[in-house]
Amino acid sequence: MAKDNNSDATGGAAAGSRATLKTIAQLTGLSLSTVSLSLRGGATLKQETNRRVAEAAQKLGYVPDRAGVRLRTGKTNVIALVLDGAEESIDFARHMIQGIGHALHGSRYHLTVTPEFKGNASVETIRYILENRTADGVIITHTMLKDERVQMLIDAGFPFVTHGRTASPTPHAFHDFHAEAFVALAVERLAALGRRDIALVIGDDTTTNHHNIVTAFAQSTARLGVRGSELHSVAGKGAAAIRALGLHMATAAEADRPTGIICNSEMRTIALVGGLQDGGLRLGSDIDLVYKQTSDILPTLFPRLDSISEDVFAAGVELTRLLLARIGGAAPETLQTLSEPVANWRSS
């Protein structure tokens, strides 16, 4: 029997040809309509049917014709990640993208990433997505209390989720690190180590995260009866300036020097510890520090330094779950979650 020009001996697409719904139907023995329905989600089909179609599509290297899908359904099958480019957490972007990619694996959705390095640039990115409908949903990182991007998406009725909370009076989907619990844990740890004068070193003062941390710091130090009057906002400052701050702390008169420090960024922690050590302070003896950990790098550099972890990979997975639920029609007030911090106490 002559071989089909569009398939190989195993029923797959011929070399150089593009896999189609027809070649998937030929390989699985299913109808074109069943294959099409399965690739669109197939909620009404049997799990075994969806599995057969997914395996065949992967074997054939099937890639949906996005232009055709958009013409037929108005959908793009694209999720857009608008990613803040601030380098505050080591490997934040990589872990976030990997988490989202993991959650999208096997679905009909693809991910596009737009890194933003200028404060107001992502407003224009959101406007472009809305005007051109280049995605079915959006994930935003690093939210502000009054976030123009969030209001634009709410006004447009467009599915989105934020990594961070806002002060919007209209409920929206979000997933956030429980910053208040992070600060409470850090203050409690330093107080338990006998540190009665605690400084907070924190970055971007425009974000909701900054507001939550500063508020929780004031509340936690007051509750435990420790001095928490020293607040160092280092937004926009480079490593050299933060290292100089550490040196300044280390060389200050003992009565003016903090005995404990909380830092909410790995990048800032590296620079800060360098300055403290330049000034001759011994970590764990002269001073204790608790930092927010988002990678495995700092424990290698400072194995005795206490940290509190956020799992950014898991955050990417959760943000994707919430967004897909929102695209599916779930109410935004039911799609609001927090991830709890995990303490890693290493000092004696």
Q: What is the pLDDT of residue 55?
A: 87
How is residue 340 written in tokens?
A: 């709890």
Region 225-251: mean pLDDT is 87
CB 22 within 8 A of CB 41: no
% of the chain surpassing 70 pLDDT: 87
Residues 228 and 333 in one domain: no
pLDDT (tens digit per residue) in 44-77 = 788 888 888 888 888 887 766 655 555 455 578 8
In order of 149, 257, 293, the CA distances from 273 in angstroms are 36, 15, 14
Do 56 and 161 belong together in one domain? no
**Which whole number is the average pLDDT over 86-91?**
71
Q: Between residues 42 and 9, which one has the greater pLDDT?
A: 42
**Same-domain check for residues 90 and 35:** no
Q: Is the pLDDT of residue 277 over 60?
A: yes
Q: Is 282 exposed, middle or buried (0-12, 13-18, 19+ CB in 10 A)?
A: exposed
140-145-151 Cα angle (round to 5): 60
CA distances 267 to 38, 91, 263, Å, are 45, 10, 10
The reply to whether 251 and 148 lie within a common domain is no
Cβ atoms within 10 Å of 332's Cβ, excluding its own: 18
Same-domain pairing of 98 and 127: yes
Distances, alpha carbon 345 to alpha carbons 122, 227, 228, 305, in Å = 37, 22, 21, 8
Residue 102 resides in a domain = yes
Whether residue 77 sits in one domain with residue 129: yes
Whether 3 has a pLDDT exceeding 60, the answer reads no
pLDDT for the residue numbered 74: 57
Regarding whether 244 and 124 lie in a shared domain, the answer is no
**Mean pLDDT, residues 297-307:** 93
- Determine the Cα–Cα distance for residues 204 and 82; give it in Å rounded to an integer: 18
For residues 147 and 194, state if they share a domain.
Answer: no
User: Is residue 290 domain-shared with residue 271, that is, in the same domain?
Assistant: yes
Check pLDDT > 60 for residue 26. yes
Q: Give domain status of residue 196, yes or no.
A: yes
| Residue positions counted in the chain | 348
346 within a domain of the structure (yes/no): no
| 293 has a pLDDT exceeding 80 | yes
In this predicted model, which residue has the larger pLDDT, 43 or 238?
238
Single pTM value for the model: 0.78
Our count of domains for the chain comes to: 3
Residue numbers of the domain that contains 8: 1-63
pLDDT at 57: 83
pLDDT of residue 68: 54
Q: What is the mean pLDDT of residues 92-106?
A: 93
186 and 304 assigned to the same domain: yes
Tell whether 214 is covered by a domain: yes
Q: Are 161 and 311 in contact (CB under 8 A)?
A: no
Q: Which residue has the higher pLDDT, 263 or 38?
A: 263
The verdict on 219 and 234 lying in the same domain is yes
Q: Is residue 68 part of a domain?
A: no
pLDDT at 221: 96
Task: Quote the pLDDT of residue 232.
Answer: 79
pLDDT band at 112 (very low <50, low <70, confident <90, very high): very high
DSSP state of 334: G
pLDDT in tens, 319-328: 999 999 999 9
Mean pLDDT of 129-156: 93
Amino acid sitting at position 307: S
Residue 119 vs residue 112, higher pLDDT: 112
Under the banding of pLDDT at 50, 70 and 90, the label for residue 170 is: very high
Percent of the chain with pLDDT over 90: 59
CATH number reported for the structural domain that contains residue 156 in this entry: 3.40.50.2300
Domain CATH number, residue 43: 1.10.260.40
Q: Are residues 131 and 251 in the same domain?
A: no
Tens digit of each residue's pLDDT (9 = 90 or more) over 137-147 = 999 998 999 99
pLDDT value, residue 70: 53
pLDDT, mean of residues 96-107 = 93
Question: Is residue 18, in this structure, part of any structural domain at all?
Answer: yes
What pLDDT score was predicted for residue 46? 85
The reply to whether 113 falls in a domain is yes
Confidence of residue 5 (pLDDT cuts 50, 70, 90): very low
d(Cα 195, Cα 8) in Å, to the nearest integer?
72
pLDDT for 233 equals 76
Backbone angles phi, psi at 211, to 5 degrees: -60, -45
